């Protein structure tokens, strides 16, 4: 059989090669796979791939094999996800992120007359680990910086810095300090309905309109996700409440993005009480926000 001629080449390659038919019957299992999975060729040849290994979606791979046989060309099994076809664990002692091999899997035509395809599995774990480390570095850098990547207003860590500072000033000079915490009602529904891109656009637009509404001395930041905070030095409890209400109405009357989405938001407000800690202040504001949500949303508490 033809496979004997291919065997020498396929056994000398540093990646996995499986020759299967449309029902996943294994005709050939190369040396790399024998070493990586611990299963010898004679144990697996003649058996079905999905009976030997738990394959997440065997309809999907069978459909892809059908595609290869129909189109007589190559198909990429997992172009994005690097979801492994067969779970192969990676032994490691130090410094690695993934326990299971990340794989690039392609399926190509082997023998059209006999209905055979060749599945190639390449170990891409190192590449993914390098990417992961890069992503972590970016995240750390973002944290060190003060600006939220998406909305370009201050981020949470900058806000913490500011509030600690303002509290000290408030104490020393006996100045009032207001805090507003708000979030978008049912934001997940917007993401689900319009997609994340639009969801992001809404957040950017909110940041933009609220930014232009507050004073120079105020600090406006993105707390996370769809949550925002405003710090108002010199603002009385009444003024803080008033501003929150104005913001709520402003958001209510705006049609967001060119999809003209209507958005409501819930607000929690509180003013700093002399002597209390930052955490205590946040707890009160949080409670107020919670109250607003519990009372039916789209309001200030």
Partner 1 sequence: MDKKLEFNEDHKEVLRELMNVAYGSATAVIAEILDAFATLHVPKIELFNVTELRNYIIGKMEDDAFLCSQGINGKIAGESIFILNRSSMKNISKYFDLDDSATDDDLNDIATELTNILSSTTVGKLAEQVDSMVAFSPPSVHIVNKVSIKDDLKMKDYSQAIVISTSIEFEEEHIYGDLILFMQDDSIVWIKEKLDVIIEEYL
List the catalytic residues.
Answer: 226
Please provide the distance, in angstroms rounded to a whole number, between the alpha carbons at the two ends of the chain. Answer: 79
Least separation, in Å, of the C-beta of 128 and partner 1? 15
Q: Which two tokens stand for residue 146?
A: 């003060």
The alpha-carbon radius of gyration of the chain (Å, integer) is 29
**Cβ contact 37:31 at 8 Å:** no
**Cβ contact 270:165 at 8 Å:** no
Long-range contacts of 160-166 (CB under 8 A, 24+ apart): 160/278, 162/219, 162/221, 162/231, 163/219, 163/231, 163/278, 163/281, 164/278, 166/219, 166/231, 166/233
Q: Which two tokens stand for residue 221?
A: 């930041």
Cβ distance to partner 1 smaller for residue 174 or 197:
197
Complete DSSP assignment for 104-122: EEEEEEEETTTTEEEEEEE
Complete DSSP assignment for 68-91: HHHHTS-EES-TTT---SS--B--
Least separation, in Å, of the C-beta of 117 and partner 1? 14
User: What distance in Å separates the CA atoms of residue 291 and residue 285, rounded to the nearest whole number?
Assistant: 10
Least separation, in Å, of the C-beta of 74 and partner 1? 7
Residue ranges binding partner 1 (CB under 8 A): 57, 59-60, 63-64, 66-67, 70-76, 79-81, 106, 194-198, 258-259
Cβ distance to partner 1 smaller for residue 84 or 268:
84
Least separation, in Å, of the C-beta of 137 and partner 1? 23
Cβ distance to partner 1 smaller for residue 80 or 172:
80
Cβ distance to partner 1 smaller for residue 124 or 166:
124
Least separation, in Å, of the C-beta of 201 and partner 1? 8
Cβ distance to partner 1 smaller for residue 67 or 157:
67
CA 67, 26, 10 angle in degrees (round to 5)? 90
């Amino acid at each position: 059989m033809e496979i004997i001629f291919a065997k020498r080449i396929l056994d000398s390659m540093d990646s996995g090669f499986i020759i299967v038919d449309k029902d996943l019957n294994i005709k050939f299992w190369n040396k790399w796979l024998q070493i990586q999975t611990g299963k010898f060729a004679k144990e697996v040849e003649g058996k079905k791939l999905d009976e030997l290994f738990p394959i997440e979606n065997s309809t999907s791979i069978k459909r892809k094999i059908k595609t290869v046989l129909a189109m007589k060309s190559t198909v990429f099994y997992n172009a994005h996800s690097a979801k492994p076809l067969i779970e192969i664990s990676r032994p490691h002692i130090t410094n690695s992120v993934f326990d299971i091999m990340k794989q690039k899997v392609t399926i190509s035509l082997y023998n059209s007359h006999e209905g055979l395809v060749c599945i190639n599995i390449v170990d891409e774990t190192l590449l993914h680990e390098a990417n992961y480390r890069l992503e972590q570095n970016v995240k750390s850098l973002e944290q060190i910086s003060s600006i939220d990547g998406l909305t370009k207003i201050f981020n949470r860590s900058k806000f913490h810095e500011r509030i600690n500072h303002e509290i000290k000033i408030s104490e020393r000079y006996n100045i009032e300090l207001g805090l507003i915490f708000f979030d978008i009602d049912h934001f997940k529904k917007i993401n689900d309905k319009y997609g994340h891109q639009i969801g992001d656009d809404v957040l950017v637009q909110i940041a933009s309109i609220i930014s232009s509404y507050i004073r120079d001395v105020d600090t406006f930041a993105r707390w996370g996700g769809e949550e925002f905070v405003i710090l108002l030095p010199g603002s009385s409890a009444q003024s803080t409440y008033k501003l929150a209400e104005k913001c709520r109405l402003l958001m209510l009357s705006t049609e967001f993005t060119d999809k003209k989405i209507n958005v409501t938001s819930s607000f929690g407000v509180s003013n700093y009480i002399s002597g209390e800690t930052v955490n205590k202040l946040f707890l009160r504001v949080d409670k107020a926000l919670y109250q607003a949500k519990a009372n039916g949303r789209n309001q200030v508490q």
